[in-house]
Each structure stands twice: as structure tokens, then as C-alpha cells.
Structure 1
Amino acid sequence: MNTIIQNILVFTAMVLAISFLVKKFFWKKSKPKKACGGDDGCGCH
């Protein structure tokens, strides 16, 4: 019985770690489209 619980915990930890790495390195963030105004560093002024 302890082996089953241990395997479930290991599998859950591995899935969480892989999903964290995928989110951190491979997930493309969509950049917000802001109107260029003020000092937001867009380089258009």
C-alpha cells in the first residue's frame, strides 16, 4: 500500500516539475498592445 502512495506522489511531483519548466521556458507570452504614450520604453518618441 505504501508503494502505491509513494508512486502517486512521485508521479505528481514529476508532472508539476515538468509543467513548471514548460511554462517557464516554452510558453509564449502575448505582449500587451499598448498605445505608445508616455515613457513606456517603446522607442517611438
Structure 2
Amino acid sequence: MISFQEIVVYLLLGIAVAFLVKKFFGKKKKDNDCGDGNCGCG
């Protein structure tokens, strides 16, 4: 039987992993996008 504490720990672990994946792999598309033109890549 899974206790309430185990559910909370697994939920927090999933949130932390999702945050890290989004932080490190979510910016891949924006690296070549200059957006407003203020990045100095032109």
C-alpha cells in the first residue's frame, strides 16, 4: 500500500524532473531566433 508521503514525494520528484527538462531542453528552439533583434546576432 502506498502511503500519502510516498505519493507526495513522487509528485514532487515528477515536478522537479519536468522543470529541469523544460529548463535545459525547452530553449533549444529559441537559440537561433532573434525575436526583437536586440540579441546582437545580426
Distance in 1 separating the partners of 2:20 and 2:8: 18
Aligned residues: CA RMSD:
2.4
- Number of paired residues? 34
Q: Looking at CA atoms only, which structure, 1 or 2, has the larger radius of gyration? A: 1
Deviations 1:1-45 (A, max 9, x none): 100000000000000000001134x12242118xxxxxx7x6xxx
| Higher helix proportion | 2
Unpaired stretches in structure 2, ≥5 consecutive residues:
none
**Structure 1 residue ranges (4+ consecutive) displaced by more than 4 angstroms after TM superposition:** none
Counterpart among 13, 16, 25 of residue 19 in structure 2:
16
- Taking only the aligned residue pairs, the percentage that are identical comes to 15
Q: TM-score, normalised by structure 1?
A: 0.58
Unpaired stretches in structure 1, ≥5 consecutive residues:
34-39
